[in-house]
Each structure stands twice: as C-alpha cells, then as structure tokens.
Amino acid sequence: MRKVLKWIGIGLGSLIVLLLIAGFTMYLIGGSKLNQTYAVHTADLVIPTDSASLVRGAHLARINGCTDCHGPDLSGQVFVDAPPFRVVAANLTAGAGGIGRTYTAEDWDRTIRHGVKPDGKPVFIMPSAAFHRLSDEDTAALIAYLQQVPAVDHDLPPTEIRTPGRLMAAGPLDVAMEVRTEPARSSRPPIGPTADYGEYLASGVCAYCHGEGLLGAQPATPGSPPAPSLVAAGQWSLDEFTTTLRTGTTPGGRTLDPEFMPVAFTSQYDSTEYRALHAYLETLQGGIQTASDS
C-alpha cells in the first residue's frame, strides 16, 4: 500500500514539474510574441489644411467608428478591464494624457492603417486591418482632422497584458491579428453612388466582419454571432437597406445585436454612401445564401 502511494506521489510530482515547465515555457513564448516589433511601409502623406478635407476627415472618423470607441470627443476610454488584460482606447487629442501631443503624421498612419504603435508593437482590439483599405487621400484627411480636434485633458491607465493574457498569447490569442506590414491602398474611386465607391467602403469596415466579398464570416469578437452573407441584403430595396444600417432593425423586424453589428458606425454614412453600398451589394452573387428574414 505504502509503495503504491509513493509511486502515485512520484507520478503526481513529475506531472506538476512538467506542468510548471510547460507554463513557464508558455509564459516566455507569450512574452516574446508580445514584445515582437513590426516594421511597416507607411506612405509619404501630404496632410491637407483646407476646410473640405477637414469635413471629410470628421466624416471618416464617424463612419470608421473612431468616435464610437475613442468617445465622441475622442478623449478615450478603458475598453476592456478583465483578468487577462486591460485594453485602453487612447485619448487621441493633444490634451493632457493624449497621444495627439506627440504623434507625427507617420505615427498616425502606422497605427491606423498598419496596426503598429510608435514603439513597433501591435495594437489590440483597434480594427486596423479594416482601415488598411483606406486610401492615402482619405487617411491624410482623417489625420488633418485628428490633428486639430479640441484638446481634452483625460489621463488614462496604459494598456496592460497580464499573466493570463501572456499565456493566451502563446496559444490561441493572435497578438498580431491587426498588423498589416505591406503598403496600404493608395487611391480610391471618386465619391458617388456607384458600386465602385461602395466596394471601397465595404472592403474595409464591412468585410472586416462579413468576410472577403461579404459572403459571411465569423467575427473575432468573443461571443459574436456569425456575420451573415450580405447577398440577401443586396436584394432588399434601397430604403430597407438604409433603414437597417441606420436603425439596426431588418425589413423582417429583427433587431441586430448592436454589440456585434456596429450600428453606431453604420448609421453615420450619408445618403450617397448608402446608395453606393447598396449598389455594390446588388452586384454580389453566389456564396451561401443564409436564411434571410426579409
């Protein structure tokens, strides 16, 4: 009996040692992934100063959700505070605690379109992979606007990855998910109610969740329902489509979950853009037609 217990003891002991070694290895791997830095090809942007560009920049900040996640005055907020990490959407203004005080045009471009912060490390949650499709001209207008938003003093704690997050980074959590090192898009089609301009808008923000060609995908956000194929929505009338994006209620009367389908951004397009998006969706074909409630 004693002998058996002794062997069980040795067995358990070695298991614990193995687990400790595995845990420590994961801790090291996670740490090295989190500390990896990325070099990106930013563009030589000429930042405009004319009022039309500033108006365009402000509009881009709304349709791309900058004002949703970073707050209406862009002064930032704690986005997630959970055991694995605290992720803080920075104060973007030039007020106290704001990154606008130090950011250069190149820093803005690197973070927004490439997902890499000035220290070379990846952003978390910030959907830069969607913004990689913004053209040079639009990015320059957005930066022009960001550089002159009123300064707001708002000190926030830094983003922090804690031990469980570090262990997750060694495994399931892809810390470089938003990083795009290759050059971003240089030009875009002219603004108008065309399928081309609709494709430009949709290939960034909408495709980020609804997948390549908008044929449906599983968004990365934990707990999100699948983002369905938008082939069916392309068959709705323009009015039905616009109302859905503005209010989050489909022609069939279903309310889309605003936590996962960001009506806060999709309600901000103008009528030309709804027509452009609709015109583009009308051209979609094939893919798996998901059960439509229209």
The least CB distance from residue 203 to ligand HEC, in Å, is 10
Q: Which of 115, 140, 135 is nearest to 125 (CA)?
A: 115
Kindly report the backbone phi and psi dihedral angles of residue 203, in degrees, each rounded to the nearest multiple of 5, phi listed first: -70, -20
Question: Torsion angle of alpha carbons 68, 69, 75, 78, nearest 10°?
Answer: 140
Stretch of 28-36, 39-47, 50-58, 84-92 lying at the interface with ligand HEC (CB under 6 A): 84-92
Q: Which of 75, 141, 78, 133 is nearest to 108 (CA)?
A: 141
User: From residue 106 to residue 145, what is the string marking binding to ligand HEC with x (rule CB under 6 A)?
Assistant: -----xx----xx----xxxxx---x--------------
Specify the residue for token string 């927004």: 112
Query: Which position among 208, 276, 280, 284 is part of the footprint of ligand HEC (CB under 6 A)?
Result: 208
Residue 288 contacts by C-beta under 8 Å, 6 or more apart in sequence? Answer: 215, 216, 229
The least CB distance from residue 28 to ligand HEC, in Å, is 21
Residue 87 contacts by C-beta under 8 Å, 6 or more apart in sequence? Answer: 78, 79, 80, 124, 125, 159
Nearest residue (CB) to ligand HEC, 5 versus 222: 222
Q: Is 169 in the site for ligand HEC (CB under 6 A)?
A: no
* Ranges within 89-108 binding ligand HEC (CB under 6 A): 89-90, 92, 99
Nearest residue (CB) to ligand HEC, 22 versus 293: 293
Q: Is 213 in the site for ligand HEC (CB under 6 A)?
A: no
Q: Is the CB of residue 143 less than 8 Å from the CB of residue 45?
A: yes
The residues of the shown chain that bind ligand HEC, judged by CB under 6 A, are 61, 64-66, 68-70, 79, 87-90, 92, 99, 111-112, 117-118, 123-127, 131, 146, 159, 202, 205-206, 208-210, 219, 224-225, 227-228, 230, 232-233, 244-245, 250, 256-257, 260-262, 266, 277, 292-293
